[in-house]
Structure 1
Amino acid sequence: MTGLRPVDAVTALAYQRSLYRAGGISVRVGQRPVPDDPTLPAWWRRSDVVFVSAANPGGRRRPDGWNLRRMRVLAACLAGCESHEGEGRLGQWAEPLFAVRLPLARGRVIARRFGQNAVLLVREGRPARLVFLETPHPARRPGGDGFSLRSG
């Protein structure tokens, strides 16, 4: 048991609308990454990239100092992986994260360890997608009862 609850529609929509930036790329759910500087090497094209955070587990706001300490622990956990610091942002809300070159399965394990609801997966040639760690409640599945994760 992870202590995570299925994500509600409001939270899922916030994840969908957020802009994720790290390692010289910007990406939104359902879109392909865009380089912030086209002259930089496209490191994200060589394998899966997982955007993961340790801040605000379960979508519950935590104090900045607490989040910073958890992000340091996450950074140590990512030692040996190519990773880039960044943030996820929606309006005034911003959360630190890492874009990490590693397989999705490992990214899910790490995200679960840090109590995260989801990771963002970027694969070459494909739109970015949210991967939730807990199955949404049946009445809240994407595409049902007004709940959709399609990009808008």
Structure 2
Amino acid sequence: MTGLRPVDAATALAYRRSLYRAGGISVRVGQRPVPDGPGVPGWWRRGDVVFVSAANPGGRRRPDGWNRRRMRALAGCLAGCERHEGEGRLGQWAEPLLAVRMPLARGRVIARRFGQNAVLLVRGGGLARLVFLGGWG
């Protein structure tokens, strides 16, 4: 049992409007990743890249220290995976995340373990897709 509940329409819209940055790229839902500058390796063009966080589970704000501890725990679950630190941001709201090269199925399991509503998927450098874990609506 994940304890996840469907997110409301306003929260889903916030996820879709957010800018996700990690490993020298920026991406928005429905768009392809864009390098933040020249010379950024094309690491995101190979396989599945899942943007996942352990911060603010269920979209509820938590203290910064708590979020840092959860992000360290998340990193520990990803040993052996290529990963890049970053953040998701919309206006003044920002939270840390990791962009991780791993199959979506594994990303979903890990995100559920950390109480997340959704992950962002970039498959083979294509369009970024928001994947809700508990549904929405």
TM-score scaled by length of structure 2: 0.97
Q: Which residue is 1:116 aligned to?
A: 116
Check the 8 A contact 2:33/2:125 in 1, yes or no.
no
Q: Which has the higher strand share?
A: 2
Q: Give the Å deviation of 1:23.
A: 0.5
Residue 86 of structure 1 aligns to a residue in which SS? strand
Residue 62 of structure 2 aligns to a residue in which SS? coil
> For 1:96-117, what per-residue CA distance to the aligned partner results, in whole angstroms no more than 9, with x for missing partners?
0000000000000000000000
Aligned partners of 1:2 and 1:119: how far apart in 2? 15
Q: Which residue is 2:97 aligned to?
A: 97
Opposite residue 48 of structure 2, the aligned amino acid is: D
Gaps of 5+ in 2: none
Q: Which has the higher contact order (CA 8 A, sep 6+)?
A: 2
Gaps of 5+ in 1: 141-152
> For 1:78-132, what per-residue CA distance to the aligned partner results, in whole angstroms no more than 9, with x for missing partners?
1110000000000011000000000000000000000000000001252101000
Q: Which has the larger radius of gyration?
A: 1
Percent identity of the aligned residues? 85
Q: Which residue is 2:2 aligned to?
A: 2
Within a 5 Å distance, the mapping from 1:69-108 to structure 2 comes to 69-108=69-108
Moved over 2 A (4+): none
Within a 5 Å distance, the mapping from 1:2-151 to structure 2 comes to 2-136=2-136, 140=137
Aligned partners of 1:42 and 1:14: how far apart in 2? 27
Opposite residue 45 of structure 1, the aligned amino acid is: R
The count of corresponding residues between Structure 1 and Structure 2 is: 137
Aligned partners of 1:125 and 1:77: how far apart in 2? 24
Residue 134 of structure 1 aligns to a residue in which SS? coil
> For 1:122-145, what per-residue CA distance to the aligned partner results, in whole angstroms no more than 9, with x for missing partners?
012521010000122xxx2xxxxx
- Shift in alpha-carbon separation, 1:125–1:100, aligned structure 2, 3 A: closer
